[in-house]
Every structure is written in structure tokens, then in C-alpha cells.
Structure 1
Amino acid sequence: MTTSPPRSPVPFAAPTLPTPLAEIRLVDPGAGSSGAAVVRLCRTGDDAGPPADAPSGWLPSAGAVAALAPEDGVGRWLVGAGAGAAKDWRGAGAAAVRVASGRSEPGALLGAEDGPARVHVVPEAGVSPDWPSVATGLLLGSHRFAVKSSAPAAPPRVTVEVPEEERPAVERALVLAGATAVARDLADSPSGAKSPAWFADHALDALAEGVEAVVRDEQWLAEQGFGGVLAVGGGSSRPPRFLELTWSPAGATTHVVLVGKGITFDTGGISIKPNAGMADMRTDCSGGAAVVGALGAVAALDLPVRVTGLVPLAENHVSGSAYRPGDVVRHYDGRTTEVTNTDAEGRMVLADALGYAVATLAPDVVVDVATLTGAMKVALGVRTGGLFATTDDLATGLVAAGESTGEAWWRVPLTAGHDADVDSQLADVRQAPPGPGGIVAALFLRRFVGDVPWAHLDIAGPARCDSPHEEVAKGATGFAARTLVEFCARHA
């Protein structure tokens, strides 16, 4: 009998990571940059208005761009920052790097014939920009994730005239923006290539020196009793992984544990999703991606606080080995869950990771982040994350961390009246009880953290973008990475 050779794997296209970002150099005011396109930052208000050479009728509203006549063959642009709010300056930075490097209209790829486009950014006379916000916009505005046959244009080289006293804050902002870029890359990578093992490998490549990393396989998960991760990942031919990252500087006395949902693709399992929007499920690992980005930035900033990142990784697929509604799953801490909807998979893997954190890591505080519920997207839209917390101080600290880094959070109550809905007659808890979806999901997770101060960040809305704005491009946004870094810094 003739046998057929084994089938070769489908040749999925994989991205080349990391996505190249603008090379940003800080120079003294008045330094200039010969041959570079000049971008002047303007704003509105009583103390500043349109420059004298602005086109008739042009106003420096946030992100507005005007092309001026070139001088000595060098392009010149005006970019507006509106009234000068932080988000306006981020938008101005992004518009500056996009327009002068040919990435938006009326852009022109300036200097590219000799190499990367060169851009020189200066403030209009009398204008004092929010330089950290401008820098965030410049770096993230240059990020454009793609998987194409042609090589992407080299990212621009940007010089920025920044006063000496502003530079430490600007350099710090660039590190935080880099964390966002890492999170975008991991979340946006197509799932054909992005198996749990692939995610773990590329996460390790993105980490700064000093972060210890361990990747556990399905055998370890089975030995340790990670029933939630194994159940969710059981329907895929690509087995789950568990990523543990540790930053432990000498003398650190506070231990923050960050837990990120790492579903590399989510079909919904047997409770299968409709086709509309399923392609976006490559970004269902956005929480885990944010944790990876944050750990790299925490180490790069050398923060004097111990931080552990946990990312349970699985692909929620449909097959004969997929978990089913009606199943009972035993988690790491011994608690049992009645499965009622296999598309509520994120809380299953987080439950294992939260139980592991509490039992083995002695954390002072635990924060999890996940694209968890469509209900939270409906409630808060796509620019604000949902925040649940067991203490007021923890909620206040996370909101403040988000405000200082340009990420908005809204606290949602852990409504006590719905807590009993999580109980199950068949098991200890029900996975997807009736009630307000975001709230009952958070109440389910709270069962696995004991008395440890805990916060849950639901980023189902802002983790993805269809309508670009400010520094945010279409696709995965990297939302929450900067908040997590700033939160850790404030715990140092």
C-alpha cells in the first residue's frame, strides 16, 4: 500500500519584529539640522496663534498640518497642537513624523533618496510644548505594523530641539512609548504564525537585560494543575504555554505581580463566534502583550521594585478535543469551575495565573489586564479601559498612572449584589453567570485572589483601533502598557 507523506504546515507569513521605529535624537534649542525637513509645532490660545507664514485660513488645531514652500530644497511644515492638552501634543508629534516621512497627506518622503527621511522638530516662537507627550507621539507615530513582501521604508531620523532640563522626562517617555510599541507588535502579529510558543519566544526577544524569563510547556501545566489553561488550549494542535517574567533588583521590598491574558487566537471554541470581527481576535493577547512591554520598560528604567509578569498563553480553537459547555474544570488553586460558555476563555486562563501568583509569589498587589468582555466595550467605548479594584487606593493609583501616560480608565464597581451569581450548584463557581458581563467577569476573577489587593483592567475596547487618533494607529494599540509601567514606578 502506498502511503502519502505527512502534510507540510501551511506557510503562514510571519512578521519581522520589532517594527522599526523613528530614531529620535535630542539637541539643544537653536541647533538646527541641515538638510532635514523642518516641522514647527504651533498651538492655539491667547498667547499663540497661526504663524505669520501660515496659509490663509489655517488654524493650528490638534493634528492639523500645513505645508509651506520649501527653502533651499528643504521641506517645511506647520503642525498644530490645538489648545495644548497632553493628547494634543501627542497628536502633534505623531502628525509631525507621519507627514514629513510620507506616511500621511500631504506628506512627502524627504531625504529618503539618501537614506531614511530626516525630520527636525522645533517649537514655534513663544510656544512651550509638553515635550514628553510630543516624544511619545513622535515614536509611536512612526510605528506602522505590516507583513508585506516589499521591505518597508526605513523609519525617519528625527532631531528635536529640547531644553536640557526637559530631557530626562523626554527620555523616560520614549521608554514608555517603546513598551507600547512592543505590545502592539505582539498583539498585532497574525495568529497563523503566532502560536503560544511563538509568542513566548518573541516576548523573550523583546525584554531588556535583567529580566529573568521562564517558559513552561503543557507537561508542566498538567503537572501543576493549570486546568483552565489546558482546557482552553485543548482544542488547538498548538499547545499552551505559561510565561513567567521576573524583575528583582537588589533591595526591592515591594512586589507587584502583573497578569496578562495571552489568547493568541480566539474562535470562541464550541461556543463559536460569528465571522464578523473574528479576524481581530489575533489581538486577544493584548493584555499579555502589555505585560511583556511593561516588564521590558521596568527593567530599562531600572525601577527599584520587584515585578513579576505572568502570561498564560493558549489558542481557543474548535476540535474534538475542545472543552465544552457543561464541563467542570479544576484550577491551580483547587477551585472548580462550571463551564457555561467556551467563548469566556480569558477568565479561565487568568484564574489559573491569579491562583498561582497568590499561592507562590507572595505579592503585595496583583493587577491583571485582559481583553475580557464585549460588555465593557459597549459600556465605555474604544478609548477608555474598565477598572475594577478591591481598594480605593489601588483604583486611584491606576487612574493616576493612566492620566500621566495618556491612557484613560473608568472605575466600575464590583457590585456586591451580583457576587452570588458567580456561585454554581455543580462546581464552586460558574464561568459566565448572567448579569452585567464586565462586572460578573470581574467578580469571577476575584474568587481567585484571596485577600491580596487586586485590580482588574478590562481593555476589550481600547486594545484595538479602527479609527486612528493622536498617536494611535489602526490595529493593536498597546493600551495599558504605559499605565502598568507608571503604576510600578509609583510603587517603587
Structure 2
Amino acid sequence: MRLPVPTPLVAVEVADTLRRGVGRVVLASPGEPPVLGPGGADVEVTEEVTGKAGTTHKRNGHWVLGVGEGSPADWRTAGASLARALQGDAEGDGGTTFDVRLTDTADVQPFVLGLLLGGYRYRVTNEEAPKRLKSLRLVGAPSPDEVRRAVDLATATALTRDLANSPANVKDPAWLATTAAKLAGTVPGLEVEVRDENWLTREGFGGVLAVGNGSARPPRLVHLTWNGAPDAPHLVLVGKGITFDTGGISVKPADGMHLMRTDMAGGAAVIAAVIAIARRSLPIRVTGLVPCAENHVSGTAYRPGDVIRHYGGTTTEVTNTDAEGRLVLADAIAYAVRNLKPDALVDVATLTGAMKVSLGVRTGGLFATSDDLAAQLTEAGTRTGEAWWRMPLPEDLADDVQSDLADLRQCPPGPGGITAALFLREFTNGVPWAHLDIAGPARADKTYAEVVPGATGFATRTLVALAEHYHQP
């Protein structure tokens, strides 16, 4: 089965002039009456035109779009709402290309992110694709460079969504690794290696092998390398690549299990981010590691009570086979620390339901051993419209990760998100490290701002922005 990866996005063009015979979009801000932007002199203002962010009204083939008070969130919401309105109009035999008249005060990056991601749709179908919105011309954009940057960020976010949304009957570890390699192979200077189960066995990736042992489809490790500048800092990104998670012998409830095709959203974010970093030719060294496995139930599945040996020799007592993510991440982190000499290390994963309870579904959990790295990640999220909340790593819980049977205990009692982070910290060997738990915001069940139901692509833009502005303390 051929999957729609990557999904085509609306083309965005920057120009100084309007086109003849093309529908136009006029911006509106709240006021009494609403304040219309360039081209608004010919627009009839009725009571329903308020200027509230995301409101859309069609007038004589043209559109009025509310941009609210002009905050980045307002602009993202406006762009996303416009994309959905124009896509609906296109499907109803309306226009497929429009001109948008911007002002000098337009916040271009969030607006373009909304435009490109708000109309995102992923479907595997035999039906003929509906007529779609094809292109938008931004007239009077104050910063064409910001438009290009926003397109890069949106493209990376959409790729993460594509990979995470892909159904698991096709998306096994080999498919994910091969797809990542094909996409990376189109970017000059970006190197990629795919390691199979034989290499993982020889190198001692006991966590990845244990988790993947229950499936007939063996695990893989994706290794992406970008050398943007020889003397630049080295940033290592590690993403959880569990292509489907039954919970293993500690099997999950049936309700909601179908969503576990997105359990590799952290790995998808790393793949898409490194590709975007390379496409932008950022002057930094970045390595992406994505351990890929399928956590299944079978006669060869690993068990609670097993002791596994990770890369480098550390042993872990398994207490819950549904906490598999930390086991595969531990191998990759230990490998990175020993072989890659990172200046900073960031892992990202849909790791714990506890973080979903703690922070809801729109904010990611941030754990870090470095205040500077935590601040850089938070700032990167703010710049790109992704919210993070720093969580503690309390030392009074650190001893609970120790095991009487092995070196470490996989799932100690206590706050699950924190103890998972403390477990991962054991493998970092003092390297400045951050752990991003995206169990909540990695997927959505309803539309808001630029997000649509399904995989959201959360964390991708933060990783790209971190690499773009990364500095050592």
C-alpha cells in the first residue's frame, strides 16, 4: 500500500502586486467599526464582520479575515481558519488560488504556519481527491525571509504528522527507517544510516531488542548526521520510534489503542527536524537517533520481571512492558554519550500518560539537567508556537529508580512522568540533557488553531528553532 507521504501543502508566493481575476482576502481587526486592511475600502462591512481572530466572511468572491489583536496566536488562528474556509470553498467549486493583502504589522511566520497547517488532511483512500486550495499569494509581506522560514517549519511539522498518522499495518520499523532514509537522501549533505536487528544485537542494544522481540517485524535504528559547520556545537536529538504499542504482555485497554500508531511521534519529530535543519543549511552539527520497534504480544515478547542489558552494560529490571519507550531511548542515549560526544542531548517521546494528566493536551513536559538548555528550548517553543512547562527532577525520588535485582528499575512507584525522566537521566553521564514528554500534545481529537484531529507534529518546530539559535553557555 502506498501512503500519502509527504502530504502536499498549499503553495505560498510572495509578491508586490495583485493578480487580475483572482479572489482577494482583506484583513480585519476588531473595532467600532472593524478596521479593514489594504483593499478594504470596497468591502461592505456588516454586523457579522467583527475582526475577531479566525472569523471569515465571503463577499462578492472575496474574503474578509479577522486577525484579532495581532498576537502570534491570533495570526496562527487566522491563517488556519482562512485555509479551512478556502479549502471548503474550493471543494464547493470555488477558487483554488487567492491573493492576501498584508500590512506592515502582519506577523508573517505564525500566519503562514496557520495557512499551511490549518488545512492539513491525511487520508488513505481509493476515492478521487477533492478539488483543493492550491496557492496563496501574499502581497506586501514585510519579510519574505520569514515567509520562507515559516514554510520550512510548516513542511517539517506536516511531515511529522504524516509519519505519525500512517497506519501501523504498513508503518513497521523497516518502513519508518526506509522512509526516513529516502526523505533524507533528497537533502544534500545529510547522511543517513539504517541499522538492522543484526547490528543492534552485535552492539548490545538490549532495550530496543527486548521491546521489539514480541513482533515478527524486527527493530531498526535510524542515524541521521548533519555537519553544518566543522567547529560548531554538536546537538544530538533522540526520538522514540515505537511504530505500534499494544503494551506488550502488560497489554493496554482496547479503547484508544488504535491511536498507538502515533506512538512514534517523537521519532517522527526528530526525523523531520533534522531534515529541515539540513535543508536550511544551519551552521551546526546535529545527529538524530531514532530507535524503531513494535511493542507486541506474542510468545517471544519480553516479560515483567525480565532483566535486560542496555548498550554500555547497564541492566534494568522490567516491571511493566507498557513502559517500553524509556527502554529504547536509554539505549540510544547511552550510544550517543559514548560515541558521539554531544555538547547537548535532547530526547523527545510520547512517554507517559502522567504528563497528559499533569499538563493536558496542549503543553509539553520539559525536564532538564541544564537551566540554559531548558531556557533555550522554552524560547524555541515560544518563537514557533509550541508551549512547554518545565518539570522538576527531585533528588528524593532518584533512589527509587535503583533496583535490588538489577542496576535500575524501569517503573518505580510515584509520579510517573518524573520517575521516567529520572530513569533516562541515569544514561546521560553528565552531558547537558533535556527530556521532552509529548504524550499530551502529540495528538489531538479536535480542531484548534493550526491543529487538526490526529497527529499534531508537536515538538518539531521547537527542535528546528533550538538548532537555529543554539548557543553553548
Measured against the shorter chain, the TM-score band is over 0.9
Alignment of 1:43-54 (within 5 A): 43-44=29-30, 49=35, 53-54=44-45
State TM-score, norm by structure 2: 0.95
Q: Which blocks of at least 5 consecutive residues in structure 2 are unaligned? A: none
Structure 1 letter corresponding to 2:183: A
* Superposition deviation, residue 454 in structure 1: 0.1
1:17 aligned partner? 5
Separation in structure 2 between the aligned mates of residue 305 and residue 340 of structure 1, nearest angstrom = 39
| 3-state SS in 2 of match to 1:102 | helix
- In the other structure, the counterpart of 2:177 is 200
1:76: which partner in 2?
62
CA contact 2:153–2:276 (8 Å) conserved in 1:
yes
Written as runs of structure 1 = structure 2, the 5 A alignment for 1:469-484 is 469-484=448-463
Q: In 2, distance between residues paired with 1:311 and 1:409?
A: 22
1:180 aligns with 2:149: no
Of the three residues 376, 383, 399, the one matched with 2:355 is 376
Q: d(CA) in 2 for partners of 1:290 and 1:439?
A: 22
- Which of the residues 298, 304, 314 maps onto 1:335? 314
Return closer, same or farther for 1:169/1:119 CA change in 2, 3 Å cut-off: same
Match of 1:136 in 2: 113
**Superposition deviation, residue 41 in structure 1:** 2.3
CA contact (8 A) 1:246 1:309 kept: yes
CA contact (8 A) 2:101 2:140 kept: no
Q: How does 1:397-436 map to 2 (within 5 A)?
A: 397-436=376-415
Quick one: distance in 1 between partners of 2:158 and 2:278?
16
Q: Superposition pairs for residues 335-354 of structure 1, below 5 Å?
A: 335-354=314-333
Post-superposition, which runs of at least 4 consecutive aligned residues in structure 1 deviate over 3 A? 45-52, 162-165
Residue 159 of structure 1 deviates from its aligned partner by 2.9
Q: Which residue of the partner structure matches residue 55 of structure 1? A: 46
1:7 maps to what in 2? none
Confirm or deny: 8 A CA contact 1:100 1:108 kept in the other structure.
no
Amino acid at match of 1:178: T
Quick one: distance in 1 between partners of 2:22 and 2:402? 64
Tell me, yes or no, if the aligned pair for 1:370 and 1:459 is still in contact at 8 Å: yes
Whether the 8 Å CA contact 1:422–1:444 is kept in 2: the answer is yes
What is aligned with 2:94? Answer: 110
1:449 aligns with 2:435: no
What corresponds to 2:133 in structure 1?
A: 156
One-letter code aligned to 2:48: G
Question: Relative to structure 1, is the Cα distance of residues 154 and 230 closer, same or farther in structure 2, using a 3 angstrom cutoff?
Answer: farther
* Alignment correspondent of 1:114: none
Give distance in 2, aligned partners of 1:381 and 1:110: 38
Counting aligned pairs with the same residue, the percent is 54
Choose which of 216, 222, 226 in structure 2 pairs with 1:237: 216
Query: 1:41: which partner in 2?
Result: 27
Moved more, 59-68 or 253-262: 59-68
Q: Note if contact 1:183-1:481 (Cα within 8 Å) is conserved in structure 2.
A: yes
Using the TM superposition, give the Cα deviation of residue 38 of structure 1 relative to its aligned residue in structure 2, in angstroms.
1.9
Point out the more displaced range, 58-67 or 242-251: 58-67
> Any idea what SS the aligned residue of 1:403 has?
helix
CA contact (8 A) 2:104 2:141 kept: no
Deviation string, structure 1 residues 121-167 (Cα, Å, up to 9, x no partner): 123xx673211111111111232111011132354232333446511
1:438 to 417, 424, 429: 417
What secondary structure is seen at the aligned counterpart in 1 of 2:365?
A: strand
Judge which range, 183-192 or 150-159, deviates more: 150-159
Amino acid at match of 1:110: G
Distance 2:88 2:382 in 1: 31
The separation in 2 between residues aligned to 1:36 and 1:102, in whole angstroms, is 17
Secondary structure at the residue paired with 2:267?
Answer: helix
| Corresponding residue of 2:200 | 221
Q: Give the Cα–Cα distance (whole angstroms) in 1 for the partners of residues 49 and 55 of structure 2.
A: 8
> Structure 1: any 5+ residue segments left out of the alignment?
1-12, 112-116
> Are the aligned partners of 1:33 and 1:120 in contact in 2 as well (CA < 8 Å)?
yes
Q: Distance in 2 between matches of 1:170 and 1:235?
A: 46
Which of 58, 61, 68 is the equivalent residue of 1:67?
Answer: 58
Q: Distance in 2 between matches of 1:299 and 1:48?
A: 43
Distance in 1 separating the partners of 2:170 and 2:23 = 38
- Name the counterpart of 1:247: 226
| Alignment check: 8 A CA contact 1:263 1:284 kept | yes
Contact preservation (8 Å) 1:385, 1:461: yes
| 1:326-353 Cα deviation digits (max 9, x unpaired) | 0000000200000000000000000000
- Secondary structure in 1 aligned to 2:122? coil
Pairwise CA RMSD: 1.7
Displacement of 1:85: 1.2
TM-score, scaled relative to structure 1: 0.91
Mapped contact 1:195–1:264 kept (Cα < 8 A): yes
Count of aligned pairs: 464
SS in 1 for 2:143: helix
Counterpart Cα distance in 2 of 1:201 and 1:434: 38
Tell me the residue number matched to 2:82: 96
Distance change (3 Å), C-alpha of 1:352 and 1:45 = farther
Structure 1 residue 14 displacement after superposition: 4.4
Letter in 2 for 1:20: P
